[in-house]
Structure 1
Amino acid sequence: MSFATRAIHADCTAQLTLATPLGEVLLARTAGGLAGAWFAGQKDHPGVLAAPQRPDDPLLRAAADQLEAYFAGRATRFDLPLDLRGTDFQRSVWHALMAIASGGTRSYREIALQVGSARAVRAVGAAVGKNPLSVIVPCHRVVGSSGELTGYAGGLDRKRALLRLEGGGRWE
Structure 2
Amino acid sequence: MNAYKSVSTPMGILRITSDGTYITNLFLMEEHLHDFMEKNQVQESSEDPLLNKAEKQLNEYFAGTRKDFSLPLKQKGTAFQEKVWQALTEIPYGTSCTYQAIAVKTGNPKAVRAVGQANRKNNLPIIVPCHRVIGANGRMTGYAGANVHLKQVLLDLEKIPYKM
TM over 0.5: yes
C-alpha distance in 1 between matches for 2:112 and 2:27:
24
- Structure 1 counterpart of 2:132: 141
Kindly report which structure 2 residues correspond to 1:33-112, keeping only aligned pairs within 5 A, or say none. 33-41=22-30, 45-47=32-34, 49=37, 50-112=41-103
Q: Kindly provide the CA deviation profile for residues 39-98 of structure 1, in whole angstroms up to 9, marking residues without a partner as x.
A: 1257xx242523121111011000000001111111111000001221111111000000
- Tell me by how many angstroms 1:169 deviates: 5.3
1:168 lines up with 2:160 in the alignment: yes
C-alpha distance in 2 between matches for 1:112 and 1:127:
11
Answer whether contact 1:21 1:71 (CA < 8 A) is retained.
yes
- Larger relative contact order (CA 8 Å, sep ≥ 6): 1
- Structure 2 counterpart of 1:154: 146
Gaps of 5+ in 2: none
- Tell me by how many angstroms 1:165 deviates: 0.6
- Tell me by how many angstroms 1:167 deviates: 2.2
Aligned partner of 1:34: which letter? Answer: I
Q: Identity across aligned pairs (percent)?
A: 38
Relative to 1, partners in 2 of residues 1:40 and 1:127: Cα closer, same or farther, differing over 3 Å? same
- Tell me by how many angstroms 1:128 deviates: 0.4
Gaps of 5+ in 1: 1-11
C-alpha distance in 2 between matches for 1:168 and 1:105:
7
**TM-score (normalised: structure 1):** 0.86
Aligned partner of 2:43: which letter? Answer: P
**TM-score (normalised: structure 2):** 0.90
- Tell me by how many angstroms 1:129 deviates: 0.7
1:116 lines up with 2:102 in the alignment: no
SS of alignment partner, residue 157 of structure 1? helix
SS of alignment partner, residue 26 of structure 1? strand
Answer whether contact 1:94 1:128 (CA < 8 A) is retained.
yes
Q: Kindly provide the CA deviation profile for residues 109-148 of structure 1, in whole angstroms up to 9, marking residues without a partner as x.
A: 0000000001111111000011000100000000001111
Relative to 1, partners in 2 of residues 1:32 and 1:87: Cα closer, same or farther, differing over 3 Å? farther
Aligned partner of 1:14: which letter? Answer: A
Count of aligned residue pairs for this structure pair: 159
